[in-house]
Amino acid sequence: MKVAIKSLEADMEIKSKGVELEIYEPNGLDRLGNLVITKTELIWCAGKTRREKGTKLKWPAFVGLISAQAESPKKAATVGQKKTVAAVTGRSKKAVTVAAPIAAKAAKKKRILSPEGRQRIAAAAKKRWAAQRKSAAAATK
């Protein structure tokens, strides 16, 4: 698996925008997506998903997910169940829900434009540009 860092500076502190990693298949050719690491969360952008629409996971939820996976594979399957912050961080006893990753939305069906519709749009555009040229010519006189 190939993981590439887009920008690297020595002694880098993660700021608000974070660090973005490009993730590829082990063959190095097929791009899986981007992983954005910020101060408050991890954002997984599968494929060509934009950062705003990526799957977000807060740090306490990520730590809980990894801790559960390290404890046993059976506990990793209980991702949607509640864990205490004490179990995750060793501090408070507030309950935190570890969110399951959200599945990617199905792509919207593309509309198909008929030849008649295309002609109507072209005629309307020509009419609009003719009117605009006419008003521009009138304004220059």
**Closest to 50 in 3D by CA, of 26, 12, 20, 24:** 20
Q: Both tokens of residue 121?
A: 């749009």
Q: How many domains does the chain have?
A: 1
Question: What is the structure's pLDDT at 113?
Answer: 92
Query: Do the domain assignments include residue 5?
Result: yes
Question: What is the structure's pLDDT at 76?
Answer: 47
Query: Do the domain assignments include residue 105?
Result: no
Q: Determine the straight-line distance between the first and last CA of the chain, rounded to whole angstroms.
A: 67
Statement: the pTM of the whole predicted model exceeds 0.75? no
**Closest to 34 in 3D by CA, of 24, 17, 21:** 21
pLDDT tens string 53-77: 888 888 888 888 888 887 765 554 5
pLDDT level of residue 106 (50, 70, 90 thresholds): confident
Query: Do the domain assignments include residue 117?
Result: no
pLDDT tens string 11-33: 566 666 777 888 888 887 788 88
Query: Do the domain assignments include residue 75?
Result: no
Q: What residues make up the domain containing 45? A: 1-53
